[in-house]
Amino acid sequence: MQVGVVTLFPELVDGALEQGVIGRARSQGQLALTLVNPRDFATDKHRTVDDRPFGGGPGMVMTPAPLSAAIASCKGVMPEAPVIYLSPQGRPFDQVMARRFQAHGSLMLVAGRYEGIDERVINRLVDEEVSLGDFVLSGGEFAALAIIDAVTRLEPGVLGDPLSAEEDSFGLDGLLDCPHYTRPEVFDDQTVPAVLLSGDHKAIARWRRQQSLARTRDRRPDLLASADLTKEDKLFLTSLGPSEQ
């Protein structure tokens, strides 16, 4: 997977992506990361990349020239990568989008700062605006890190077990994940469900599926409308009765 990030804080992104599963993916060549700083394309001695908004108002806006040049530089490394601007006004990021980005093979993320970036850059250079949710961050770097993590872990060989990504929440069936337990069998007077100790793999699979269905119904019932449900799934959901929500 080839990922570029246009950011005023490349050290922040680089350092975070040296850790854990994603750090291992980088060292093994499964993630190629390109970091471009718009300040490197500023033309004044102060390396200015922001200015006051026309029309007045609080805050500053990232100016178009250094940012456009940074995007163009990153495009030179990955010409086929879609340009994604990370913005609270964008479409919410989800697992379907993560799979789409991973399948494309390359991705450029533009991390804004201040009150945002000049709209003319969006109009001319951005392919898609994406948001992590209905909240505002100080900059797009943390959103970029979340997206890079979500996309990279879908690359073949990044996770230890290839089924891990499929069985996660929002996996191929569209449901939330089931509860998980490990040793010891008893902790704080709570015991592991007996079915998980039974050795009956069919019963365990059925329990996990039903737990996933029940958890999705109780916590994210909106997901059920598009989930891949069998006839048995639907009968089980009906047997649960009305949701408490």
Which one is catalytic: 53, 64, 82, 88?
88
Q: Is 88 considered catalytic here? A: yes
Rounded-to-integer distance, Cα 179 and Cα 204, Å: 12
Name the one residue in this structure whose structure tokens are 């898609």: 128
Q: Is 100 considered catalytic here? A: no
Q: Is 232 considered catalytic here? A: no
Q: Which two tokens stand for residue 41?
A: 């394309």
CA distances to 65, 83, 106, 110, 147 from 77, in Å: 19, 13, 10, 15, 20
Which one is catalytic: 10, 66, 118, 153?
153
Rounded-to-integer distance, Cα 83 and Cα 108, Å: 5
Which one is catalytic: 39, 64, 99, 115?
115
Q: Dihedral sign, CA of 24, 110, 46, 61?
A: negative
Beta carbons within 10 angstroms of residue 130's beta carbon: 23
Q: Is 153 considered catalytic here? A: yes
Name the one residue in this structure whose structure tokens are 């030179």: 76
Q: By the 8 A CB rule, do 26 and 18 touch? A: yes
Cis peptide before 156 (omega within 30 of 0): no
Q: By the 8 A CB rule, do 217 and 237 touch? A: yes
Q: Which residues are catalytic?
A: 88, 115, 153, 168
